[in-house]
Amino acid sequence: MSEKENTCVPEEFIAKIMEYPFLYNIKQSMFKDAKKKERIWNEIGENFNHTGEEAKQYFKSLKKKFGRIKKQREKATKSGAGALKQKDWELYQLIQFLEELIRPKKTSCSFETKRKEEILIEIDPQVSNEEMLSSGIFPR
Protein backbone atom coordinates (compact mmCIF):
# COMPACT_ATOMS: atom_id res chain seq x y z
CA MET A 1 0.00 0.00 0.00
CA SER A 2 1.06 3.60 -0.26
CA GLU A 3 2.37 5.89 2.47
CA LYS A 4 -0.81 5.15 4.42
CA GLU A 5 0.37 1.53 4.86
CA ASN A 6 0.84 1.90 8.60
CA THR A 7 -2.95 2.31 8.97
CA CYS A 8 -3.35 -1.30 7.85
CA VAL A 9 -2.87 -4.07 10.37
CA PRO A 10 -1.67 -6.96 8.20
CA GLU A 11 -3.36 -9.66 10.31
CA GLU A 12 -6.72 -7.90 10.01
CA PHE A 13 -6.18 -7.29 6.31
CA ILE A 14 -5.42 -10.98 5.66
CA ALA A 15 -8.41 -12.05 7.76
CA LYS A 16 -10.64 -9.80 5.63
CA ILE A 17 -9.23 -11.24 2.39
CA MET A 18 -9.89 -14.77 3.65
CA GLU A 19 -13.60 -13.91 3.81
CA TYR A 20 -13.61 -13.67 -0.01
CA PRO A 21 -11.86 -16.72 -1.50
CA PHE A 22 -12.96 -15.76 -5.02
CA LEU A 23 -10.44 -12.88 -4.87
CA TYR A 24 -7.49 -15.28 -4.93
CA ASN A 25 -8.75 -18.78 -5.77
CA ILE A 26 -9.22 -19.42 -9.49
CA LYS A 27 -11.29 -22.52 -8.70
CA GLN A 28 -14.06 -20.34 -7.27
CA SER A 29 -16.96 -19.73 -9.66
CA MET A 30 -16.98 -15.97 -8.97
CA PHE A 31 -13.25 -15.59 -9.65
CA LYS A 32 -13.99 -14.36 -13.19
CA ASP A 33 -16.60 -11.83 -12.04
CA ALA A 34 -14.41 -8.72 -12.42
CA LYS A 35 -17.12 -6.27 -11.30
CA LYS A 36 -17.82 -8.13 -8.08
CA LYS A 37 -14.10 -8.48 -7.35
CA GLU A 38 -13.55 -4.77 -7.97
CA ARG A 39 -16.44 -3.90 -5.65
CA ILE A 40 -15.06 -6.14 -2.89
CA TRP A 41 -11.50 -4.78 -3.32
CA ASN A 42 -12.94 -1.26 -2.99
CA GLU A 43 -14.79 -2.26 0.20
CA ILE A 44 -11.65 -3.83 1.66
CA GLY A 45 -9.63 -0.75 0.71
CA GLU A 46 -12.17 1.53 2.41
CA ASN A 47 -12.02 -0.60 5.58
CA PHE A 48 -8.30 0.17 5.78
CA ASN A 49 -8.40 3.77 4.48
CA HIS A 50 -7.02 2.87 1.05
CA THR A 51 -8.27 2.51 -2.47
CA GLY A 52 -9.35 -0.84 -3.81
CA GLU A 53 -6.36 -0.85 -6.15
CA GLU A 54 -3.96 -0.25 -3.24
CA ALA A 55 -5.57 -3.11 -1.29
CA LYS A 56 -5.27 -5.39 -4.30
CA GLN A 57 -1.59 -4.47 -4.82
CA TYR A 58 -0.83 -4.96 -1.13
CA PHE A 59 -2.34 -8.44 -1.21
CA LYS A 60 -0.38 -9.19 -4.37
CA SER A 61 2.85 -8.20 -2.62
CA LEU A 62 1.99 -10.41 0.39
CA LYS A 63 1.24 -13.31 -1.95
CA LYS A 64 4.56 -12.85 -3.78
CA LYS A 65 6.48 -12.71 -0.51
CA PHE A 66 4.76 -15.87 0.67
CA GLY A 67 5.68 -17.60 -2.59
CA ARG A 68 9.34 -16.54 -2.31
CA ILE A 69 9.63 -17.72 1.29
CA LYS A 70 7.85 -20.99 0.49
CA LYS A 71 10.30 -21.61 -2.36
CA GLN A 72 13.28 -20.82 -0.09
CA ARG A 73 11.99 -23.22 2.55
CA GLU A 74 11.48 -25.99 0.01
CA LYS A 75 14.98 -25.42 -1.35
CA ALA A 76 16.45 -25.53 2.16
CA THR A 77 14.79 -28.86 2.96
CA LYS A 78 16.05 -30.68 -0.14
CA SER A 79 18.55 -33.42 0.45
CA GLY A 80 22.09 -32.12 0.33
CA ALA A 81 21.09 -28.52 0.86
CA GLY A 82 23.27 -26.66 3.30
CA ALA A 83 21.74 -24.96 6.27
CA LEU A 84 20.26 -21.61 5.33
CA LYS A 85 19.66 -18.82 7.75
CA GLN A 86 16.17 -17.63 7.21
CA LYS A 87 14.35 -14.95 9.06
CA ASP A 88 10.88 -16.00 10.06
CA TRP A 89 8.21 -13.87 8.48
CA GLU A 90 5.59 -13.12 11.11
CA LEU A 91 2.73 -13.46 8.60
CA TYR A 92 3.84 -16.77 7.06
CA GLN A 93 1.60 -18.97 9.21
CA LEU A 94 -1.36 -16.67 8.76
CA ILE A 95 -1.13 -16.57 4.98
CA GLN A 96 -0.63 -20.32 4.54
CA PHE A 97 -4.16 -20.60 3.16
CA LEU A 98 -2.44 -19.77 -0.15
CA GLU A 99 -0.22 -22.86 0.09
CA GLU A 100 -2.31 -25.06 -2.19
CA LEU A 101 -2.93 -22.23 -4.66
CA ILE A 102 0.68 -21.28 -5.36
CA ARG A 103 2.49 -23.62 -7.71
CA PRO A 104 5.98 -23.24 -9.10
CA LYS A 105 6.09 -21.83 -12.59
CA LYS A 106 7.03 -24.21 -15.36
CA THR A 107 10.31 -23.35 -16.96
CA SER A 108 11.17 -23.84 -20.57
CA CYS A 109 14.31 -23.83 -22.61
CA SER A 110 14.83 -21.07 -25.16
CA PHE A 111 16.80 -23.22 -27.59
CA GLU A 112 15.99 -26.40 -29.48
CA THR A 113 17.34 -29.72 -28.38
CA LYS A 114 19.28 -31.27 -31.23
CA ARG A 115 20.09 -34.89 -31.80
CA LYS A 116 23.75 -35.92 -31.60
CA GLU A 117 23.82 -36.59 -35.35
CA GLU A 118 22.61 -33.07 -36.15
CA ILE A 119 25.33 -31.57 -33.99
CA LEU A 120 27.99 -33.70 -35.64
CA ILE A 121 26.92 -32.58 -39.10
CA GLU A 122 27.23 -28.94 -38.01
CA ILE A 123 30.76 -29.53 -36.72
CA ASP A 124 32.18 -30.79 -40.03
CA PRO A 125 29.82 -31.56 -42.87
CA GLN A 126 32.66 -33.26 -44.81
CA VAL A 127 33.10 -35.99 -42.20
CA SER A 128 30.39 -38.60 -42.00
CA ASN A 129 28.50 -39.15 -38.77
CA GLU A 130 29.80 -42.70 -38.62
CA GLU A 131 33.41 -41.49 -38.83
CA MET A 132 32.82 -38.94 -36.06
CA LEU A 133 31.15 -41.47 -33.80
CA SER A 134 33.78 -44.14 -34.42
CA SER A 135 36.63 -41.71 -33.72
CA GLY A 136 35.99 -42.02 -30.00
CA ILE A 137 35.69 -38.26 -29.52
CA PHE A 138 31.94 -38.51 -28.98
CA PRO A 139 30.42 -41.27 -26.88
CA ARG A 140 27.76 -43.36 -28.58
pLDDT tens for the 140 residues of the chain, in order:
544 544 678 999 999 999 999 999 999 999 999 999 999 999 999 999 999 999 999 999 999 998 888 888 878 776 665 655 666 788 888 888 888 777 666 666 666 655 555 555 555 566 666 665 666 665 55
pLDDT value for 109: 63
Residue 104 near residue 71 (C-beta atoms within 8 A): yes
Residues 6+ apart with CB under 8 A from 101: 24, 25, 26
Return the domain boundaries, the chain. Answer: 3-101, 112-140
Output the CA torsion 57→58→61→66 (10° steps). -140
